[in-house]
Amino acid sequence: MAKRYDLIVFDWDGTVMDSTAIIASSIQSACRDLGLNVPTDEAARHVIGMGLAQALQHAVPDAPPHMHEPLADRYRHYFLAQDQSIPLFDGAAETIAELKEAGYLLAVATGKSRKGLDRVMDSSGLREFFIASRTADETFSKPHPAMLHELMEELTVDAERVLMVGDTTHDLQMAINAGVDVVGVTHGAHPEDQLRALAPLALLDDFHGLRAWFKANA
């Protein structure tokens, strides 16, 4: 069967790596340290996928401008203390390796910084499978379509041959804005009903379901 897509683009946090709870708790701990209003779990999870500065401004909207950088520093303190121990989702490495072996181009579009993505791609052993990536400190943050537009231009792939995989409405909306197909996974940061409202091609519970979907549809 001919492949439907040439390029599959993955979000990282909450999609490939099970980091949602640690990101949310790191935001909350940073706020406590600085005496700022602590966002709810829902509010802290909602901003996952955005670039750090944008995420913190949305999660802690009453933080005065002079607190933005100290807040980011405290967030990094808590997150970096744990990020080497964050696991991949079950089946992620096997699925990604299988897609690479099948001839797909694989890329990452993430709210992480370049330094942060490089660190986790090396620690996870997945760097070799991805041909390109974009991070939030290199271009516009999600849901702006720039990450996908730049990846398509770099790899010379048309929009109709691209599939995005993500766990947040930011991922899904970025794909919609870029004119590419998108599949959502429900094991990450955003509730299933919010993802479903954006009408992805499919919503899968885990990488086992995602792998089966790829075989049948990609």
What amino acid positions are annotated as catalytic residues?
11, 13
Asked if the bond preceding 87 is cis, omega within 30° of 0, the reply is no
Question: Which one-letter amino acid corresponds to residue 130?
Answer: F
Find tokens 């996952």 and name the residue. 48
Locate 194 and state its tokens: 């919010």
Note whether 185 and 169 are within 8 A (CB).
Answer: no
Alpha-carbon gap, residue 167 to 145, rounded angstroms: 16
What's 103's DSSP letter? Answer: T
* DSSP per position, 39-83: PPHHHHHHTBTB-HHHHHHHHSTTS-GGGHHHHHHHHHHHHHTTG
Note whether 178 and 149 are within 8 A (CB).
Answer: yes
Per the DSSP assignment, residues forming a β-bridge with 10 are 108, 165
Q: What angle do CA 5, 210, 167 make, to 5 degrees?
A: 95
